[in-house]
């Protein structure tokens, strides 16, 4: 086991001053994560160096089990690194998962209002703000609908509105569209790109879908198979809006897929 695992460290998410704003919205500095008892630990992430600028859309790509979700949990503060530091200077990030995790006994609007309540929004303002957020994700008539009345795509839009209700400038997304059909996923790619640009959010988006990563991200980061390390990065120099079938998306996705296959084969040989 590498010796750097013996000295864990965490960093407080201190807000930058107005005179000297932080040059990054997320920063992982030599982050490693191991699970298990001392002496029998399994290294999941190893010496991750990763930074996302304010307003940047970064896609994290890798084979199943490479530590992508673990990395998001460290950024979110749901877990602590074994060593290294994870910093989010603009406050706690908002999280969105593959499972929408909406409360079925509440309406769409009330689900969003609950997040607003936890964010400290006064009761008198919650209904209005919830309606505004549902309108932002193109669900202006969904406020009073229960979860069972919504399609899968609509549920994920409500989940996105609820994430935005937390008021964070950083949005962490863990394969949020993986369970949706191709057409619905395509539509939600458009919606997410629009909301990201309108809100000037910093997004860390985990996926195993290479074309999805290229369509959405300004930068694609490939993690190696376990232990997860930053194997390679690509700047996606393609104009928005992008389509999944665009030649530029297809070409870059083909290149990245080749490197992903190499990582999977390399891991299988060890």
Q: What is the pLDDT of residues 92-146, one digit of tens each?
A: 899 998 888 899 999 999 999 999 998 889 988 999 999 999 999 999 999 999 9
Which stretches does DSSP call E strand in the chain?
Answer: 26-35, 42-52, 57-61, 83-87, 94-97, 170-174, 202-207, 219-223, 230-235
Distance CA(172)–CA(170), nearest Å, equals 7
Say whether 52 sits in a helix, a strand or coil: strand
Distance CA(87)–CA(29), nearest Å, equals 8
Mean pLDDT of 58-66: 87
Residue 177 CB: number of other CB atoms within 10 A? 25
Is the per-residue pLDDT at 8 higher than 70? no
Asked if 73 contacts 12 with a C-beta cutoff of 8 angstroms, the reply is: no
What's the confidence (pLDDT) of residue 263? 80
Give the CB-side neighbour count of residue 65, counting CA atoms within 13 A: 8
Q: Lowest-pLDDT range, 5-19, 24-38, 145-159, 244-258?
A: 5-19
Is the per-residue pLDDT at 76 higher than 70? yes
Residue 8 DSSP label: B
Percent of the chain at pLDDT exceeding 90? 70
What's the confidence (pLDDT) of residue 270? 59
Distance CA(234)–CA(237), nearest Å, equals 9
Q: What are phi and psi of 263, to 5 degrees?
A: -65, -40
The answer for residues whose C-beta is within 8 angstroms of residue 10's C-beta and 6 or more apart is 80, 81, 85, 86
Query: Per this entry, what is the length of the chain?
Result: 270
Mean pLDDT of 258-268: 80
Fold of domain 22-93+168-270: Rossmann fold (3.40.50)
Cis, bond preceding 227 (omega within 30 deg of 0) = yes
Sign of the Cα pseudo-torsion (172, 175, 181, 183, in order): positive
Residue 111 CB: number of other CB atoms within 10 A? 25
Of the pLDDT bands very low, low, confident and very high (cuts 50, 70, 90), residue 5 is very low
Percent of the chain at pLDDT exceeding 70? 90
Integer CA distances (angstroms), 25 to 50, 81, 89, 93, in order = 11, 18, 6, 10
What's the confidence (pLDDT) of residue 1? 34
Is the per-residue pLDDT at 3 higher than 80? no
What is the Cα 62 distance to its own chain's centre?
14
Mean pLDDT of 57-70: 89
Is the per-residue pLDDT at 194 higher than 90? yes
What's the confidence (pLDDT) of residue 98? 80
What's the confidence (pLDDT) of residue 16? 45
What's the confidence (pLDDT) of residue 23? 87
- Containing H/E element for 14? none
Asked if 8 contacts 82 with a C-beta cutoff of 8 angstroms, the reply is: yes
What's the confidence (pLDDT) of residue 226? 77
Mean pLDDT of 215-222: 96
Of the pLDDT bands very low, low, confident and very high (cuts 50, 70, 90), residue 267 is low
Is the per-residue pLDDT at 15 higher than 70? no
What's the confidence (pLDDT) of residue 63? 81
Asked if 49 contacts 28 with a C-beta cutoff of 8 angstroms, the reply is: yes
pTM: 0.88
Is the per-residue pLDDT at 9 higher than 50? no
Domain residue extents for the chain: 22-93+168-270, 101-167
């Amino acid at each position: 086991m590498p010796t750097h695992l013996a000295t864990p460290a965490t960093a407080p998410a201190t807000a930058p001053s107005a005179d000297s704003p932080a040059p990054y919205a997320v920063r992982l500095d030599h982050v490693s994560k191991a699970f298990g008892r001392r002496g029998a630990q399994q290294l999941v992430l190893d010496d991750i160096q990763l930074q996302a600028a304010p307003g940047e859309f970064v896609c994290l790509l890798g084979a199943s089990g490479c530590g992508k979700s673990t990395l998001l949990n460290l950024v979110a503060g749901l877990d602590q690194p074994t060593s290294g530091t994870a910093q989010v200077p603009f406050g706690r990030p908002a999280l969105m998962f593959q499972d929408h995790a909406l409360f079925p006994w509440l309406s769409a609007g009330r689900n969003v209002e609950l997040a607003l309540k936890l964010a400290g929004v006064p009761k008198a303002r919650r209904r209005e703000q919830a309606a505004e957020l549902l309108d932002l994700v193109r669900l202006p008539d969904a406020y009073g609908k229960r979860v069972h009345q919504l399609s899968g795509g609509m549920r994920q839009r409500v989940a996105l509105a609820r994430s935005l209700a937390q008021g964070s400038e950083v949005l962490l997304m863990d394969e949020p569209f993986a369970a949706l059909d191709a057409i619905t996923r395509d539509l939600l790619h458009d919606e997410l790109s629009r909301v990201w640009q309108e809100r000037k959010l910093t997004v860390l988006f985990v996926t195993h879908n290479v074309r999805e990563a290229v369509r959405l991200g300004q930068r694609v980061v490939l993690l190696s198979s376990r232990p997860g390390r930053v194997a390679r990065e690509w700047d996606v120099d393609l104009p928005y809006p992008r389509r999944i079938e665009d030649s530029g998306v297809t070409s870059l996705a083909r290149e990245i897929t080749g490197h992903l296959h190499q990582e999977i084969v390399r891991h299988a040989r060890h």
